[in-house]
Structure 1
Amino acid sequence: MPDALDVLVDGLTFPEGPRWHDGRLWFSDFYSYSVLAVDAGGKLETIVEVPQRPSGLGWTRDGRLLIVSMLDRKLLGLDGTTLTPVADLSALASGPCNDMVVDSQGRAYVGNFGFDRHKGEAQRTTCIVRVDPDGTVTKAADDLLFPNGTVITPDGKTLIVGETFAHRLTAFDVAADGTLSNPRLWARVEGCYPDGICLDAEGAIWVSDPFGHRLLRVFEGGRIAREIPLAPRGAYACMLGGDDRRTLFVCTNSGSGPSIADKRDGRIETLRVDVPGAGWP
């Protein structure tokens, strides 16, 4: 299929965390402090405003929307039109919270920066936090360098996370109770800074590489099956959705960080692909 992307939505501040749910693409727009949803025709709806900046999104088994609140490092739930606290992650998250995957049991795995890169703090490793359906907060994995986009395989037995500044994807075994173990290299891609990711039915992972201005389709071991150049724009997140899960939705922008907010340069772009999405999200 051709590599030209179509613009579905533009004029956003910084779209992130795209998720296909109930016939629409849901995503966070950082600097408008909003969670939005868009249909196939480009019609936008503001779902809720999150004062401390929304990031990762997911749904519980009963359909409740979970939202990562970045700056105060909390997990929130949307009950009707009201945001309610689910868990406080600040005791474990050493930087702003970011991406999240919610599994089939409603367990949320939340990453964090580990440091504030926009304030010039030195890089340091950090953890993934698991929040169980009863609100229990547990350190699920540690010693990760900027854990970012995260997926879970269709059998629920493997979680894979992109470590942005380590240029790698790291896998864990997932036990029946949600415990993560056996950390191992899934793929190293030198020169790539994995941000948002999504999994397809052939076991490949689409990787957003913002600093490389490209999208990559990567198999375990590091083989790159497809590369889609996007320069001068960067790809910050991606999601396979649509009725057949063969539409790749890509969050793109001309830059990142708070200075990008007023440019309103964020877009949701789309590309039809051959292999449908699989697993979670």
Structure 2
Amino acid sequence: MDSTHSPKLTFNDVRPIGAGLNRPESVQVLGDGRLAVSHRGRGVSFVTPDGEVSTRGPEPALASGEEMIPNGIAPQPDGSFLIANIGEGGGIWKLSADGELTPYLMEVDGVFLAAANFVMTDEKGRCFITVSTVSRPRFAAYTDTVRDGLVIIKDEHGARILADDICFSNECRLTPDGSGLMVSETFSRTITQFDLGPSGLSNRRTFAAFGRGDFPDGIRFDREGYLWVTCIVSNRLWRITPDRQKTLVLEDCDASWVDTVETALSEGRMGREHFYEAGNSRLGNIASIDFSANGETAYLGSLCGHSIISIPTRQGSR
């Protein structure tokens, strides 16, 4: 790949946007140039290009007393958002334009969506959802030996499970031509590709595999059809060509912290604390990505940062 097109960036290329964000795991670029990001405990925060932050959602979010932990968020045409709640209350919720929070989808095929990770909608009005695991608590699935994550579709025919054997299913994305679905399997360290047809998912294969320290989380295609992958723990950002060639675009990795996490994983004692610390990395466990309208800037969400990270995607935009 042409290195002038996809530069290897350093932390000097990173620019924070906004401040005081609370677990901004998912980032979405809105049509008016603002960023929408998930906000722990309430719903969605909005960040203007000059860094001004506002938050939408009731406080506390859930009358039940359970904590709302928005993970993936999906803006809707009416100004509302769908929210994947990875907190113990689980489920997919709808946050209206005036801040009302109501259940959207809590159960599919008799399965409670306890660890709802991600939600997106496409131009056909279909809703795609991932549930990391049906194990409770969810950190029981922090291993490559548990494969009980779900991929769900909700369309005009209703909601149904498309796959139930994913190794901690994280973000999913339709391929640029709409004929397939990519799924980030965090603990098998793979991006899995399926064909998507009227009968569901088929022809499962590995699109990309990752090594030590890399736990793929958020994924998104750019306008040229390249898949970008954020990896928690290692704090690496990869860009993958359609023919599966990987380029490391950005990293701020703490090798000793990677050793700590990998040891915990190998000894079967990995817990949520290993995702909510990043060692000496300054990227805060990057977990999602979106692009500006012109494609020249990428925005990164994170698990434990307090700002959105902005980086150039081309040398000419530095």
Equivalence for 1:138:
160
Between 106-115 and 84-93, the greater mean CA deviation after superposition: 84-93
The residue number in structure 1 matching 2:103 is 85
If the length of structure 2 is used for normalisation, what is the TM-score?
A: 0.73
CA distance in 1, matches of 2:199, 2:50: 38
C-alpha displacement of 1:131: 2.1
Partner of 2:269: none
Matched, 1:74 2:91: yes
- Runs (5+) with no aligned partner, structure 1: 256-264, 276-281
Distance 1:245 1:86 in 2: 32
Q: Which has the higher strand share?
A: 1
Out of 188, 204, 222, which is 2:209 matched to? 188
Shift of 1:269: 0.7
1:28 pairs with 2:9 = no
Q: Which range moved further: 92-101 or 103-112?
A: 92-101
1:179 to 182, 197, 200: 200
Instruction: Please report the RMSD computed on the Cα atoms of aligned residues, expressed in angstroms.
Output: 2.6
Alignment CA distance shift 1:188-1:252 (3 Å): same
Residue 172 of structure 2 is aligned with which of 150, 163, 175?
Answer: 150
Residue identity (%): 25
Give the letter for the 2:206 counterpart: L
What is the number of residues matched between the two proteins? 262
Cα 1:69–1:168, aligned 2, differ >3 Å: closer, same or farther?
A: same
Structure (1 or 2) with the larger CA radius of gyration: 2
Residue 242 of structure 1 is aligned with which of 271, 292, 311?
A: 292
Which piece of structure 1 moves more, 180-189 or 158-167?
180-189
Is residue 2:42 matched to residue 1:19?
A: no
Name 1:215's counterpart in structure 2.
237
* Distance apart, 1:227 and its partner CA: 3.1
Question: Cα–Cα, structure 1 residues 170 and 272, in superposed 2: closer, same or farther, change >3 Å?
Answer: same
Quote how far apart the aligned CAs of 1:116 are: 5.0
- Residue 120 of structure 2 corresponds to residue 101 of structure 1: yes
**Normalising to structure 1: TM-score of the pair?**
0.82
- Tell whether the 8 Å contact from 1:92 to 1:127 is kept in structure 2 after alignment: no
> Which residue in 2 is equivalent to 1:48?
57
User: How far apart, CA to CA, are the structure 1 residues paired with 2:306 and 2:156?
Assistant: 33
Task: Report the Cα distance in structure 2 between the residues aligned to 1:116 and 1:217, rounded to whole angstroms.
Answer: 33
**TM-fit CA distance, 1:220:** 4.5
SS of equivalent to 2:25: strand
2:122, 2:287 → 1: CA distance?
19
Post-superposition shift, 1:206?
Answer: 1.3
Whole-angstrom CA distance in 2 between matches of 1:219 and 1:165:
22
Q: Partners in 1 of 2:226 and 2:115 — Cα distance? A: 29
